[in-house]
Amino acid sequence: MSSAKVELSGEQAPKPEDILQQLERVLASDEFHSPERGRKFLRFVVTETLEGRAQFLKAFTIANEIFGRQSSFDAQNDPVVRIEAGRIRRGLERYYLVAGQSDPIVITIPKGGYVPHFDYAEPSPPSADPAPRSEPTTTRAPADRKARDTRSFAALAVSATLLIAATAGYFLWPAGLLTGRIGTHQSPVAETSSPMIVVENFQSDGEEGATADIAHGLRDEIIGQLATFDDIIVVADPSRAKDGNLHGFALQGSVQRDGNRLRSISRLIRRSDAAVIWANNYDADLGAKSILQIQADIGQDIAVSVAQPYGAIFVTDTDKIAEPSLSEMGGAYDCTLAYYSYRRGMDAKSHTAARDCLLRATERFPDNATSWALLSLVYLDEIRFRYKLGAQPSPETMTLATKAAERATAIAPNNTRALQAAMLVSFFTNDIDKALKLGAAAYAANANDTEVAGEYGLRLAMSGKWQSGCELVSRAVNKDAGPKGYYEVGMALCAFMRGDLQAAELWSRMSDLEYNPMHRLVLLSILGAEGKTKEAAQLRDWLNAHAPEMMKNVREEVSRRLQRPEDLERMLTGLRAVGVGNEMAGLSAERPNANGPK
């Protein structure tokens, strides 16, 4: 190994041998939750940096070395490196919060790159043999000094906070604490209205022993996975949960073991009436997977099932909404529920109610990023779902959507809903590169958020990156993300573009054809490509009767959604086969203006 020292902004930094010892300490800890390839990733970037090759730590190099990708690897088309880097960042944050509070060296991988930074948790000890300033392994500009100093003492500050809280007998973890997203200027009033999940101690067949250790580790994993969601509060001390929270839930569970067979039982209880609103069993083979991998898989599945936007918590609370009470709403969480209620039914009345509620919420809680993000999406829907909503968007509608998304990302740059809104606004204004970068950032911020995965997948696919995009859409479908049938139409397009017409028709019929007339237009094109003229004629007549304005602007509507000319032509050819838009033949595939989102 090179003997070069690691220097940060001219100050002596940890020695390479000390950094390697810290790396082994992290990798050996059960509290660093990462699969084998994630551990290999971390070891690679650390050792390459210490060897003086930090400048070569690019997505391509890592994809080739760690993931076995070939020379054709495209970082924009395949976000595997960015996603894994996000997981490692979360794994390191968790490690230093749970097990590494007293470690002398802090290893971080700052966002925006893959080069690790190494800092003393406390001020650097004096050294009689400082490293030569002419041979730095990594250097940082003075402008980054303040950010580095903040990171250097972040672990100490959090540790002190947790120690004081534990001493006081109160241990409450907001959703952003475990993910490092503290200080995003969320309104305290708005946050307290968010649903609270008390994660109770998981039972086992004994208070001590291997099974009890697995139960404790599983609970810790679930807490970490739940904490990636911005819209909930995670409570790690069941005895100190605030009884006054109106949106409280308790997550209970147990672990049983019979040889190599492991079973975990989990259930979500509504604390107001003790009703079981969700439950599931998980079986695993300890001989086939490591305990850490089993805990990670179960924790992720529970977090997604419970806390995703259309998961058990939000569906349960949304179902309690009564239409007459919407006009009285104005709390941030109330309006979040109003938004998801609207998206499930997609009608003009619920759209207006959600929009008005979110407008009031952003006035009352101007620093609530989620409310601004959902308001942006509501404005955007007036354009992309205008035929379903019967909306007549004004020229200012896109401007309002854009400003709301910008406000959301300014308040909380890492908020997944804010990034989702910014992605869709960029995509709908034809800034495709920016949209895909924002989508990748949203997915890296919380890969458990299957709505983000699905929306990002759709943008990738409709931009021509069908393989990677359709994989994410498929994941969203498998996790029941989004409104009923919403992502199924995406799967229909995926099959259609690869030439599998039978699968395309099946997926299309599984989508909710009442949700949006565009869903029927996709099916019509598929039927045209299959030569099913009789069925197509009936569907065409329905569209002419129920969505006449859309049928007058078919080329424009399709081109707003499909970015590649060959994809656009494939869909238009299917429509021409059934007599729709024959006048489109020979017309140029010009892109619509920025006021026409997809």
Same domain, 452 and 559: yes
pLDDT in tens, 404-413: 999 999 999 9
Same domain, 339 and 364: yes
Which of 59-68, 82-91, 425-434 has the highest average model confidence (pLDDT)? Answer: 425-434
Q: Does some domain include residue 466?
A: yes
Whether the per-residue pLDDT at 520 is higher than 50: the answer is: yes
Residue where a domain terminates, one of 424, 459, 492? 424
CA 496 to chain centre: 27
Q: Does some domain include residue 287?
A: yes
Q: Does some domain include residue 314?
A: no
Which of 196-200, 243-247, 329-333 has the highest average model confidence (pLDDT)? Answer: 196-200
Whether the per-residue pLDDT at 181 is higher than 90: the answer is: no
pLDDT at res. 504: 93
Render 275-286 in DSSP notation, one character per residue.
Answer: EEEEEEEEEEET
Same domain, 301 and 372: no
How many angstroms separate the CA atoms of 73 and 326, rounded?
49
The CA–CA distances, whole Å, from 51 to 19, 55, 61, 108 equal 12, 11, 15, 17
Residue 27 near residue 47 (C-beta atoms within 8 A): no
Same domain, 151 and 240: no
pLDDT at res. 371: 93
Same domain, 67 and 32: yes
- Total number of domains in the chain: 4
pLDDT band at residue 70 under the 50/70/90 scheme: low
Q: Does some domain include residue 118?
A: yes
Same domain, 368 and 476: no
- Going by C-alpha positions, the residue among 595, 71, 136 that lies closest to residue 382 is 595
Same domain, 365 and 465: no
How many angstroms separate the CA atoms of 35 and 297, rounded?
10
- What is the number of other CB atoms lying within 10 angstroms of the CB of residue 24? 11
Beta bridge partners of 199: 251
pLDDT band at residue 245 under the 50/70/90 scheme: low
Specify the higher pLDDT residue, 163 or 235: 235
pLDDT band at residue 529 under the 50/70/90 scheme: very high
Q: Does some domain include residue 301?
A: yes
Same domain, 346 and 412: yes
Whether the per-residue pLDDT at 177 is higher than 50: the answer is: no
How many angstroms separate the CA atoms of 359 and 355, rounded?
6
pLDDT at res. 395: 83
CA atoms within 13 A on the CB side of 43: 15
Which of 236-250, 304-318, 354-368 has the highest average model confidence (pLDDT)? Answer: 354-368
Q: Does some domain include residue 436?
A: no
CATH number, domain containing residue 250 = 3.40.50.10070
Same domain, 345 and 257: no
Same domain, 290 and 334: no
Residue where a domain terminates, one of 157, 186, 201? 157
Mean pLDDT to the nearest integer, 327-338: 72
- Residue listed under structure tokens 């529970």: 302
Our separate counts of H helices and E strands in the chain read 25, 10
Residue 249 near residue 269 (C-beta atoms within 8 A): yes
**Which structural domain, as residue segments, surrounds residue 589?**
447-598
pLDDT in tens, 74-87: 665 667 788 788 88
Whether the per-residue pLDDT at 126 is higher than 50: the answer is: no
Whether the per-residue pLDDT at 190 is higher than 60: the answer is: no
pLDDT at res. 74: 65
Mean pLDDT of the residues in the chain = 78
3-state secondary structure of 254: strand
Whether the per-residue pLDDT at 585 is higher than 60: the answer is: no
Residue where a domain terminates, one of 122, 157, 192? 157
pLDDT in tens, 495-515: 999 999 999 999 999 887 887
CATH number, domain containing residue 404 = 1.25.40.10
Q: Does some domain include residue 76?
A: yes
Same domain, 46 and 112: yes
Q: Does some domain include residue 442?
A: no
The pTM for the full model equals 0.62
Q: Which residues, 6+ apart, have CB-to-CB distance to 36 below 8 Å?
A: none
Render 519-534 in DSSP notation, one character per residue.
Answer: HHHHHHHHHHHHT-HH
pLDDT in tens, 551-575: 888 888 888 788 889 999 999 999 9
Same domain, 297 and 409: no
Q: How do strand 172-174 and strand 105-108 relate by DSSP bridges?
A: unpaired
The tokens for 405 are 């998304």
